[in-house]
Structure 1
Amino acid sequence: MEEYEPSSANLQDFFQNGVYESEEAKNLELPQWFLAALARGLLAPFVSDALVLRRTLLHVQVENMQRSSAHATALPIRQVIYGLLPNISPSSPTFLNQQSTSSSSIFREFDRIQKALKKSFVQAAVLPDNFCGDRYSLITLNKVSLADRMQLLLDTLGVTASVLEPIPCCLQLPIAVTCYWIKNTEPRVKLPHMKALLIGIVFGELEKTLYNSDPEVSCVEVNKIVHGQFCKWKGKKSPKESLELDAAHIFCQWQCCLQMGLYLNQLLCNPLPEPELSWLYCGTLVHRLYHELKSSSVPEDLLSTSPKLYQLYCNMVHVVKDATPAGFFQKKSKKHRKQSEQTSDHVLHERECTALEVVPSCSINNRFATLMVNN
């Protein structure tokens, strides 16, 4: 309860004059640029929780509870975020010693294992040699060159700046995250998943075009026809049996990767433009498109009636395929697929056993365990 006592900060000064001063922040010796970004909502509470409390809470989505948490896919991104946050205790160094294995580089994460709460201890990432040292402390992070900040972000997501060149600036971060997601997701992303996600992004761009376009532009009528068909898919009622938990889980993993990619980009003072999230993703539409694409190419054919949108879609598909290993989306033989599934199940079982060893009796201590429904 002590953590939720009213703050001594004067909020009236902030809302009337834009001035914000916090005694707690002064005691922690946080840099002014960091405080200003938090006050303006340019940094997520996730970052301040990790910095001050050394713990984070990962919210559960509607996902397949029999699989590892969707947040597991984005763990390497979170570790880089932790690596950029120093130990701000007054008795500690002003920035994180990257070679240290002390508690200053350990963060607690609260997530789920199946349907029970899990606490894990996560080691912050050791940044590459050219990113270590005083110049990458939190105090001076906003003064690091744009090229270096961009390089750290893209290295974390596993893409290069040249690969993203065909993509509009406002979509480069989501596409970079998509490349990362495809290479790290379990279960494996298939071609309909990838195409449904990218078509959903194009739909968001289409909506922006319709809301902002000149009514006399000739392509608007075609765009309205395309938009109308997508809206029909979005509102289409699917039969209950069409729900696929693994598909939902895969798209949840993308959202987790996007969330942490955004947080890392914000912490690095936005080397890539931040996308407009309200236009970027519609889960209902993406799921409908996924089911449609499993049996036909109608959504892609519909986009071809709008050359500008179709070109954007093709560019995104090419970028994502170029960033993934050759033959990644080729169908496996039944024998190979069965062996892969057995290996995946074995790895999942080992991960769950390891997690249970880290936090013993997590299900026993869960007072809601008796309410669980076995599938």
Structure 2
Amino acid sequence: MGVRGLTTFVKNPSYTHDGSTTLLRPHQLSNTPVVIDGKGLLQWLYFENDVDCKHGGDYREYETICTEFIEALHQRGVKPFILFDGASNPDDSKVDTLLGRCRERIQDSAKIIDGDPESPKLRPPFTTAVFLKVLESKEVGYVFCDFEADSEIVALANIMGCPVIGNDSDFFVFDLTGGYIPLSSLRWKEARQLSIPCEKYSLDHFCQAYSMRREMVPLLAILLGNDYVSRETFDDLYHRVIKRSGNIPNGPNVRIPRTIRFLQSRQNFADGAKRLLKDEARRQGKEECIEKSLQAYHIAPESRYQAYLQQDPSMVDIPDCPLPAAYVDLYRRGAFPADYINLKFRNNRKKLLPNLVEDYIRPSCHLISQRIREAIYGILLHGLHDRAVQETGREGQDIKVFIVTGMPSLPEFGSLPNLERMIDLEEERRKVLVMEVLEVDHGRVQAIRDDLKLPVATTIYWRSKLDLPVTESGHHLMRVILLGIAICYSREDLNMDDVKGNLKEAPRVMNRTAVQAFAEWQSCMYYTMHLNTLVNRPYPTPDATKLYHGTLLHRIYATTRLQRDVNPDWVETDVLRGSPAALALFRHLDGVAQNQ
């Protein structure tokens, strides 16, 4: 959720009743629990620290940053509890917002690959997995909620009497007992010995600065536009009535102070103001959106997740979703994707595919992994005659809906089991299922160490389905991927400066074929990991920090492009010189992938 323009206004307010020049006050964070918006934090840590987005991600660097952040909190006695959004609301009340963001990310991807110097950032697909890995290793309490997390974050923070930390302007609207600390104000790298400098906001201060009653602030958020109702809904009301409220001259960002003045003049008639909003929305058929917006700012008196975060394993149920307990736990820990809950139990057959940096001239990078998703949908929708799913993905530089039907069976394995049967299925059978989906002979990967079986099988699948220009070699691209994996898995045994010294710098103008191929590989790996989870993890979950290093892959590709191959002799004498173990791993992976 987010209120349009509110973050900028809070930092630089105007026309305050008490002369305030900021609504954020200096604060030293220490010795307290905090409740954190997980999605906002993981995205902020990636973007604010300039981790690579252009080449598809650098997960190892991101892991280091996440670790340092959690350690900075712990060293100051700050105990974080992190809540993540779960499944989308069953009523699709935010579908327009989600589709709009999807379009924006497609445009962002296009700007990045076109080399726009002002290009925005796009979060790579495995950032959530890396972030959760750090939380697990640092024993941080976290949970994925049933639906959107905002109201649960607020409820838990108020029960604990502690601040909320996030990157969402909706938190300026909630009545938070311990206040709200925007992530942008958190100077955790400059932390003093005993505290972290930051800025804190309170609704009390806002209401004092504008002589406004608390119950009017959600109406302000609705009039400004949020994820449930667009600002344009109230354009006519603004120009007819609100714009004339108070003596505020034209200028930048005046809509907020004018709307505040309008609500100030009506706060003794709060119910009347609500009716005015509803009447305006009713004229456009959006009255229900107003109700949902008001409900979104309601604070529950208790938290559904407090016991779970305090290590009470009994809180595992998901309302109206009779998942086996093992899968519920995976869901709460972020391993069972939330949108699969909607697909299986809520008759919401819509799936938004993640946006990656890719070549918009080519078909979507997710087309190559469609077979894997067909198997996923077949398992989730087991027993149903209609197994069609509406996938929203990219076509050109816009979104398009594609109908993908879940597969009912596999030729060798037979009928795909449902999740309940999957729990009791022998591990060997589940391994066979995964490999048949990937169209890889089960015995082909037997000689590979367990933690690399899934990545190598996925790479073989990806290579078999690559659609390349005649000037490119799938054999070459596969070896680039395998060498990248060998290097990342052997990093502790290598002098990375020597490795990089034998590689060209990643070109400023990226090769579009390489960008597309690597995006397709990430898509295949992403959905293979989902499939492995649904099949009750017959293979170890791969460590994303060891699987993909975008700039490294593009440097390997740029260095070897003219030869259209990664010469094993060059790998031995130059790149992996001095590390027999890394060289042996590369040769082994290459031999299996080439079926030698």
Report the CA distance between 1:137 and its aligned residue. 2.1
Q: Deviations over 1:190-231 (max 9, x none)?
A: 332111111110111112xx2xxxxxxxxx5xx33xx32224
DSSP 3-state at the match of 1:149:
helix
Which residue of the other structure, out of 416, 423, 426, is the alignment partner of 1:142? 423
Q: Return the alpha-carbon distance in structure 2 between the equivalents of residues 78 and 271 of structure 1.
A: 18
Residues 316, 328 of structure 2: 8 Å contact kept: no
Matches of 2:532 and 2:439, distance apart in 1: 14
> 1:152 and 1:239 mapped to 2: Cα distance?
41
2:595 paired residue number: 322
Q: CA RMSD in A?
A: 2.5
In the TM superposition, 1:65-144 aligns within 5 A as: 65-86=360-381, 95-97=382-384, 100=385, 102=386, 105-128=387-410, 130-132=413-415, 136-144=417-425
Say whether the 8 Å CA contact 1:154–1:176 is kept in structure 2: yes
Q: 1:28 aligns with which of 296, 321, 326?
A: 321
- The superposition leaves residues 263-289 of structure 1 with CA deviations (integer Å, 9 ceiling, x where unpaired) of 000111111111111122101100110
Q: Residue type matched to 1:315 in 2?
A: H
Q: Deviations over 1:98-146 (max 9, x none)?
A: xx3x3xx11111101011111112111121375427xx22223111111
Does structure 1 residue 199 correspond to structure 2 residue 492? no
2:474 aligned with 1:190: yes
CA distance change for structure 1 residues 287 and 233 in 2, over 3 Å: closer, same or farther? farther
Aligned partner of 1:15 in structure 2 is: 309
> How far apart, CA to CA, are the structure 1 residues paired with 2:342 and 2:502?
40
Per-residue CA shift, 1:273-313, capped at 9, x if unaligned? 11111122101100110111224643443325422221211
Q: Does 1:271 align with 2:544?
A: no
Q: Following the alignment from structure 2 to structure 1, what is the Cα–Cα distance between the partners of residues 151 and 409?
A: 37
Q: 1:119 to 1:195 in 2, by over 3 A?
A: same
Range 37-46 or range 177-186, more displaced: 37-46
Q: Contact between 2:506 and 2:558, CA under 8 Å: does it hold in 1?
A: no
Aligned match of 1:301: 573
Inter-CA distance 232–149: structure 2 relative to 1 (3 Å threshold)? same
Q: Name 1:160's counterpart in structure 2.
A: 441
Counterpart amino acid of 2:497? Answer: G
Q: CA deviation at 1:40?
A: 2.1
Q: Aligned with 1:73: secondary structure?
A: coil
Q: Where does residue 229 of structure 1 map in the other structure?
A: 498
Change (3 A) 1:147 1:22: closer
1:240 corresponds to which residue? Answer: 508
Q: From the superposition, tell whether residues 26 and 239 of structure 1 become closer, same or farther in structure 2 (CA, over 3 Å).
A: closer
Corresponding residue to 1:291 among 555, 558, 578: 558
**More contact order relative to length (CA 8 Å, sep ≥ 6):** 1
Q: What displacement does 1:20 show? A: 5.8
CA distance in 2, matches of 1:69, 1:118: 10
The letter for the 1-side match of 2:488 is: G
Q: 2:519 aligns to what?
A: 252
Note the residue ranges of structure 1 that are not aligned, 5 or more in a row.
87-94, 211-219, 324-375
Q: Percent identity?
A: 23
Task: Tell me how far apart the structure 2 counterparts of residues 36 and 79 of structure 1 sit (CA, whole Å).
Answer: 24
Name the SS of the counterpart of 1:110 in structure 2: strand
Determine the structure 1 residue equivalent to 2:97.
Answer: none
Task: Please list the CA deviations of residues 48-75 of structure 1 after superposition, one character each: whole Å capped at 9, or x if unmatched.
Answer: 3432432211122111101100000000
Unaligned runs of 5+ in 2: 1-92, 95-146, 153-299
Cα distance change, pair 313–37 in 1 and its aligned pair in 2 (3 A): same
Q: Which amino acid aligns with 2:343?
A: A
Q: 2:554, 2:478 → 1: CA distance?
A: 11
Separation in structure 2 between the aligned mates of residue 263 and residue 321 of structure 1, nearest angstrom:
25
Q: 1:125 to 1:144 in 2, by over 3 A?
A: same
Q: TM-score w.r.t. structure 2 length?
A: 0.46
Is this contact kept in 2: 1:233–1:285, CA < 8 A?
no
What SS does the aligned partner of 2:389 have? strand
CA distance in structure 2 between the aligned counterparts of 1:272 and 1:187, rounded to whole angstroms = 30
Alignment partners' CA distance in 2, 1:28 and 1:270: 21
Question: 1:276 is matched by which residue type in structure 2?
Answer: D
Kindly indicate whether residue 337 of structure 2 is the aligned counterpart of residue 44 of structure 1. yes
Distance 1:275 1:305 in 2: 26
Cα distance in 2, alignment partners of residues 282 and 190 from structure 1: 19
SS in 1 for 2:310: helix
Q: What SS does structure 2 have at the residue aligned with 1:71?
A: coil
Distance (Å, rounded) in 1 between the aligned partners of 2:515 and 2:320: 44
Contact 1:43 1:266 in 2 (8 A): yes
Cα deviation for residue 21 of structure 1 reads 4.2
How far apart, CA to CA, are the structure 2 residues paired with 1:264 and 1:306?
34
* Distance in 2, Cα, partners of 1:74 & 1:49: 21
Q: Counterpart in 2 of 1:177? A: 458
Which residue of structure 1 lines up, in the alignment, with residue 285 of structure 2? Answer: none
Between Structure 1 and Structure 2, whose CA radius of gyration is higher?
A: 2
Cα distance in 1, alignment partners of residues 501 and 312 from structure 2: 45
Change in 2 beyond 3 A, CA 1:316/1:46: farther
Q: Tell me the number of residue pairs that the alignment of Structure 1 and Structure 2 aligns.
A: 290
